[in-house]
Amino acid sequence: MNKNINIQDFSKHLFWDVNISEIDFDKHKKFIIKKTLQFGLYNDWQLIVKLYDIKKIAEIATKIRDLDIRTANFISIISDTPLNKFICCTTKQSIPKHWNF
């Protein structure tokens, strides 16, 4: 893990809803990866790749239920993880979205 990266290096809009001084890169890695994949910019993506390798990001992304299919496909391709390993692709939401984008 890269020790030179601080939570303040990420875009401000990612963690607007939490106290950033309480975020720990080890304890909250699923939260950090989820927020970055859903709302992050390219610079944020580069930071999580430096913090966690692609395999670790893919491992955590497979456990995110509400990950969008486009992001799941991207992670699947760059990490050689089968798409059927992603929980967002194998379970149906009880209340589906109105539009399928």
- Show Cβ contacts of residue 75 under 8 Å, excluding neighbours closer than 6 positions: 37, 57, 58, 61, 81, 86
The predicted structure's pLDDT at residue 58: 95
Residue 20 pLDDT grade (very low, low, confident, very high; cuts 50, 70, 90): confident
**Amino acid symbol at 3:** K
Tokens of 17: 């809803």
Domain extent listing, the chain: 23-90
This model's pTM is above 0.85:
no
Q: Compute the distance between CA of residue 27 and CA of residue 29 in angstroms, rounded to an integer.
A: 6
Q: Is the model more confident about 89 or about 76?
A: 76
Above 60 in pLDDT, residue 101? no
Backbone angles phi and psi of 56, in degrees to 5: -70, -40
Q: Is the model more confident about 10 or about 97?
A: 10
**Amino acid symbol at 34:** K
